Chain A
Amino acid sequence: MSPNTKELNSKESPANAIEFEHVDLTLGENHILQDVCAHVPQGLSTAIVGPNGAGKTTLTMAILGLVKYYGIIRFSSISGEKPRFGFVPQRLVFDRDIPMTVMDYLLSGLQRRPLFFGQSPKWVKHIMAYLDEVECTKLADHAFGALSGGEIQRVLLAQALLQEPDILILDEPTSGVDFKGGQICCELLRKVREKRGFTQIMISHDLATVTAHADHVICLNHTVCGEGKPRETLSHNVLAKTFGLHLGLPDIHGIPQNVQECTENCPLIEEHKHLHDHCNHLHQHCGHSHCKFAEEGENHAE
């Protein structure tokens, strides 16, 4: 097989936006992707999880055609052509002293008329609509270099959406953003995705976010350790295989139900209400004798 073999085939089942068949990639001496076979369902949100250096970013680079690989990555867009991509990198490192506004930056990728002859009102209006969608119209005339990490992330999301992508790829959109910011970001993405119907691929470290916001998950550690619906896929076995055996990860699959049962049976339900999202909290605070997980919880805590 030759590098970068891409077959564009619209006859494939339209349920899959991307299919990876035996994708293999070596950079220098590192065999980064080893026989990766997986699929990305059309129109849904897919998360790629895995430890650092597992090849998550490299896999997205392969999708985007930025690196050479062996094997087949098959796209099945409706038109049968190569899909349009939108891309939001993990952290934008750039020269923050370049004098330009957010609008300047967004226009620079779209407008033909050079910016020194002025901004085109047509494009400005178009861009404002997208900035509105990611809820940052206020930033349009701010200096791009003066924005915070979260704000830059949103502007980049608007920029990716401006491409009217078939496939939107986000590299750790919630890293460097606090928990609430991450939730808002994921909610926003869901809303926009439902409106526009693109396929979303998101790299993530955060298993809680994945469980809550992804429809499909691919566990990657050089090779695919498991894929499918998050609640079914993120089992002890798969997580141990993906992240290594001795990490002592919580049973993601079990937590939400445990919490629910615990709170249902616990007389101190009102007090415990705010603690439900975290395993440790459960163990530490739910020590009430009526709570059926109290004993188990204490054992775990030790």
Chain B
Amino acid sequence: MLNEMIVRSAELVSCLFPFDCMEPMFMKRAMLGLMLIAPLAALSGIQVVNSNMSFFSDAIGHSAFAGAAIGLLLAMPVNFTMPGVALIIGLLIMGLKRKSRLSTDTIIGIIFSAIVAFGLAIVSRNREASRGANMFLYGDILTIGDTEITMLAVLLMLFLIFQVVAWNRMLHISVNAQIATVHRIQTGVYQYLFAALLSLVVMLSVKAVGVLLVTAIMIVPAATARNFSKNSKQLFYSALAVSYLCSAGGLLVSAQKWANVPSGAAIVLLSCAVFAVSFLYACITNRKAAR
């Protein structure tokens, strides 16, 4: 039944894109996956940029190796060990960041190297798995499975609930956490919840664009949206718009015969192009405002 639902929604989504290249089923599923990833990446990206957490999300992305390694060791499906490990690492970093007097960069740097080294050590012992490591590095949205789509859908629901409840408070905390705490906002609760959700978002997006580019699909739309918006509401909607546009556009471009590029790279390249446009736009409007 689940399979049927996914197929239906994949058909529905691809109705929006009446192109030849959307005919095969794997393209439809890929598009559905990207339409679930786009809002997750865009919205978490906004908060990542606001609270300077891009290194955090990068570290989580790299924990994909450790997740895969643990899956291999315990003979458990990677679909579950990867998000599980990411969740633990994310909460661990957030906890150390809040409690320790070391700088955040240092904490993340240490954990980052530990998990990557651990992952590489285990994965490279196993020949088959080391061949599969490419899949984590570059990602492949075209092979997205039912489990992954379902997990994305559930995560998106949780994430949207979190945004409705916490959008305002997250903004407040990102300006100054101390003021927020004194003014009776549960800073810790919001920060831990966000770290947990962000870890899951990063890990499930690794499937689409790979470890190397996962930070880009979150940060670039958010940075682009900053150039287009003057207030919090505009930021929200423009980040969503940019993310949707670039995800769909990137997938379609990557499927063209003349392009022949991996979809992850196409999405990120398109996002960066849109960012460049937004940067010019911001320069021009700022100059006008200065006059």
Chain A interface (Cβ < 8 Å from any Cβ of B): 64, 66, 84-87, 89, 92-95, 97-101, 104-105, 107-109, 111-112, 114-116, 118, 143-144, 156, 159-160, 163
The answer to whether A114 and B163 have CB atoms under 8 Å apart is: yes
The answer to whether B236 and A116 have CB atoms under 8 Å apart is: yes
Q: By the criterion of a CB under 8 Å from any partner CB, how many residues of chain B are at the interface?
A: 32
Chain B interface (Cβ < 8 Å from any Cβ of A): 50, 52, 163-165, 167-169, 171-172, 174-176, 178-185, 225-226, 229-237
The answer to whether B167 and A114 have CB atoms under 8 Å apart is: yes
Contacts of A160 in B (CB 8 A): 183
Taking A99-B235, A115-B232 as contacts, is the C-beta distance between A163 and B169 under 8 angstroms? no
- A101 and B178 CA atoms in complex are apart in Å by 20
Partner of B168, one of A87, A98, A107: A107
Query: How many pairs, one residue from A and one from B, have CB atoms within 8 Å of each other in the complex?
Result: 95
Contacts of B185 in A (CB 8 A): 109
Contacts of A99 in B (CB 8 A): 225-226, 229-232, 234-235
Whole-angstrom distance from the CB of B174 to the nearest CB of chain A? 7
Additional pairs, 8, CB under 8 Å, beyond known A94-B175, A108-B171: A98-B171, A98-B175, A99-B230, A101-B230, A109-B168, A115-B168, A115-B171, A118-B233
- A31 and B185 CA atoms in complex are apart in Å by 30
Can you list 10 contacts pairing A with B, beta carbon distance less than 8 Å? A86-B183, A94-B175, A95-B174, A108-B172, A109-B168, A115-B167, A115-B171, A116-B232, A116-B233, A116-B236
Whole-angstrom distance from the CB of A14 to the nearest CB of chain B? 24
The answer to whether A89 and B176 have CB atoms under 8 Å apart is: yes
Max chain A Cβ within 10 angstroms of own Cβ: one of B164, B168, B171, B236: B168
The answer to whether B172 and A114 have CB atoms under 8 Å apart is: no
The answer to whether B176 and A104 have CB atoms under 8 Å apart is: no
- A116 and B225 CA atoms in complex are apart in Å by 14
Taking A98-B175, A114-B167 as contacts, is the C-beta distance between A87 and B183 under 8 angstroms? yes
- A258 and B180 CA atoms in complex are apart in Å by 46
The answer to whether A66 and B178 have CB atoms under 8 Å apart is: yes
- A9 and B226 CA atoms in complex are apart in Å by 49
The answer to whether B182 and A64 have CB atoms under 8 Å apart is: yes
Contacts of B232 in A (CB 8 A): 99-101, 104, 108, 115-116
- A114 and B169 CA atoms in complex are apart in Å by 9
Whole-angstrom distance from the CB of A258 to the nearest CB of chain B? 42
Whole-angstrom distance from the CB of B11 to the nearest CB of chain A? 30
Name B181's closest neighbour in chain A (CB-CB): A66
- A111 and B181 CA atoms in complex are apart in Å by 16
Contacts of A112 in B (CB 8 A): 168
Contacts of B231 in A (CB 8 A): 99-101, 104, 115
The answer to whether A115 and B172 have CB atoms under 8 Å apart is: no
